[in-house]
Amino acid sequence: MKTKILHALAILLFAAPSTNAQIKQGNYLLGGSFSYSNSKNVQSNGSSFQEFLNSNIQFGKVFKENTVAGVILTYSFTNNPSTNKVNEYSGGIFYRKYKPLTKGLYFFGEVDGVFRYSKNTQGRFQIGSDGNRYTGNGATISFVPGLSYTVWKKMQMELSMPNLMSISYTGVKNEATFTNITYITTSKANNFSASANLNTSILNNLGIGFKFLLGK
C-alpha cells in the first residue's frame, strides 16, 4: 500500500507538465466516480451471486478564488439474492478551500454535510417467513483534507483522506417477520457517533481521484 501511495505522489509532483492554471472565480468544479462488480461462486451444493455498485457526483462553483461550494449526490447497492439487498442514497452540500503550495500544487480542506437514506433487506421478508428489513435516515458532517495537482489546464489529480474526521447521526427502523407469527414486529433505534482517524494506518485511507474545472 505504501508503494502505491509513493507512486501516486510521484505522479502528482513530477509526471504532470508545468502549468499556470488557477482556480478562478466563476469556474465550475466537476468530479465523480462509478464502479460496478459482480461475482458468481459455483459449488457442488449450488451457486451464489453477488453484485456491487457505487456511484457519486460532485458539482460546485468557484464563487471566490480558490473557494468552491456545491452539491454531492451518491447511490450504492449491494445485492446477494440469497442473503441480503442493500440500497443507499445520499445527497448534500460541500465547501472546499484551496491553499496554494507551489505552482499547480494545492492543499485543500473540505467540509461535507450529507443526508443519507438506506434500506437493507435480509432473508425473506414476508409474513410466514423469516426476514428483516432495516431502513435508516441520518446525516453526517465530515472533514476531508488532501492535495490537488493541476495535471492539465482543466484537470486536477487529487489525494484525499475521506475518513479523517466525521460526526454522524442515524435513526434506524427494524421490521421483522417470522414463520410462526402472522404480523410484522417493529423496533426503532437512534445512533450518534463521532470519529477521528489519526492512527498510524491513516495511509490506508487515502483516496485518489480527478476533478475538472469548467469555464474560461
The answer to whether position 44 is within a domain reads: no
Q: In the predicted model, is pLDDT for residue 35 greater than 80?
A: no
The answer to whether position 45 is within a domain reads: no
CA atoms of 177 and 183, how far apart (whole Å): 7
Q: In the predicted model, is pLDDT for residue 3 greater than 80?
A: no
CA distances from 59 to 68, 71, 72, 123, 214 (A): 9, 6, 7, 38, 10
The answer to whether position 208 is within a domain reads: yes
The answer to whether position 57 is within a domain reads: yes
Q: pLDDT class for 22, splitting at 50, 70, 90?
A: low
CA distances from 117 to 62, 72, 126, 140, 145 (A): 29, 14, 22, 11, 25
pLDDT tens by residue, 103-140: 889 999 999 999 999 988 888 888 888 889 999 999 99
Q: In the predicted model, is pLDDT for residue 72 greater than 60?
A: yes
The pTM for the full model equals: 0.74
Burial class (CB in 10 A: 0-12, 13-18, 19+), 169: middle
The answer to whether position 17 is within a domain reads: yes
% of the chain exceeding 70 in pLDDT: 81
- Grid cell, residue 140, equals 453526517
| Domain housing 180 | 2-39+50-214
The answer to whether position 94 is within a domain reads: yes
In the chain, the number of structural domains is 1
Q: In the predicted model, is pLDDT for residue 62 greater than 90?
A: yes
CATH code at position 92: 2.40.160.20
% of the chain exceeding 90 in pLDDT: 47
The answer to whether position 12 is within a domain reads: yes
Of 41-55, 139-153, 185-199, the poorest mean pLDDT is in: 41-55
- Grid cell, residue 70, equals 456545491
The answer to whether the beta carbons of residues 56 and 74 sit under 8 Å apart is yes
